[in-house]
A = this chain, B = another copy of it.
Amino acid sequence: MLIDKISITRRRFLAAIGAALTLAACAPMPSAPAADPLPSWNAGPAKARIVDFVKAVSTGGSKDYVAPADRIAVFDNDGTLWLEYPLYTQVKFVFDRIKALAPQHPEWQDKEPFKSVIAGDLKGAMASGEKGVLQLLLAAQAGTTGEFAAAVNDWIAKTPDPRFKRTYDTLIYQPMQEVLRYLRANGFRTYISSGGSVEFMRPFTERVYGIPPEQVVGTRQKLLYEVKDRQGVLVMQPQIEHVNDGAGKPVGIEVLIGRRPIAAFGNSDGDLAMLQYTTTGGGLRLGMIMHHDDAVREYAYDRNSSIGKLDKGLDEYRSAGWTLISMKNDWKEVFAPLK
């Protein structure tokens, strides 16, 4: 059909087309009603809760409408966005980095917990407890932020998980990737708030999750500003400045964002303060807890696990008004397809 069959004035025509095209191109529009925004989720209370919440806060005129600037969603990383079991990925990185740095540190050969790590005895290294792991972390995570980011990116590109035979940046949960994209398509900004180090995560979160560095909250080492070769740089110091776990998560969120989130996703007791802070803000709020109950496709662990322990959360999620996500029942797929 030729346009010359339509008898409207040019101005009116342009205005109508312009409005329609501008809306389509600019506005954070939800997917067309027919399309499922969360195709890897089985129908059930978890999926329904997420979809109902997003519609309620992003539909103009809704009694629960929230302005886009306040549509902040926070996600734990380990065990919520990617694999954490049987050992946090950052701890694996730290062990490998200690081995790589060992030739420059002959004093480590006879000193625990370094000695065990160098010998490949991870059980022995873990026996040093939290204090030992912290000592290893501070020895492994040093140099300028730029140098350290390069070391992280190099490691993550070439280190596969022993069971899944894939690098860790591909062991990300497809259903959660869909949630991230669905929220962003509806005007949300998606933040990570993780116990992991911010300098460990920022090098890859944009590529892997579409989450830029300024939206990553994590545990922080002290930084010192220095001038090296006539360039101003930030040097990582062997001192923890902020532990972004438990009650530290709301604090880390306030430092970076200065707003209370309206949606939070976690999977362990370390996420409960973040969920509580998010969902006690008044108005409609979303709190979701992932339950790792899928021993076949991933792992099953909760109350007695030293990694990603979910105990108090399993007792209290109902009374807090949060919804449990069962990996086994709610997810059609677990990991994102390899590209």
Query: Could you tell me which A residues sit within 8 Å of B by CB distance?
Result: 1-10, 13-14, 17-18, 21-22, 25-26, 69, 145, 198, 202, 212-214, 216, 220, 223-225, 227, 230-232, 234, 241, 247-251, 254-259, 273, 276-278, 280-282
Contact = CB atoms under 8 A, between A and B. Distances in A.
Given A4-B6, A4-B7, A213-B257, A22 B14 contact: no
A254 B144 CA distance: 12
A213 B258 contact: yes
A254 B22 contact: no
Contact of A225 (B9, B17, B251, B282): B251
Nearest to A279: B232
Contacts of A280: 227, 230-232
Contacts of A4: 3-7
Nearest to A17: B17
Contacts of A282: 231
Contact of A273 (B202, B231, B232, B273): B232
A285 to B, nearest CB: 11
Contacts of A10: 1-3
A270 to B, nearest CB: 13
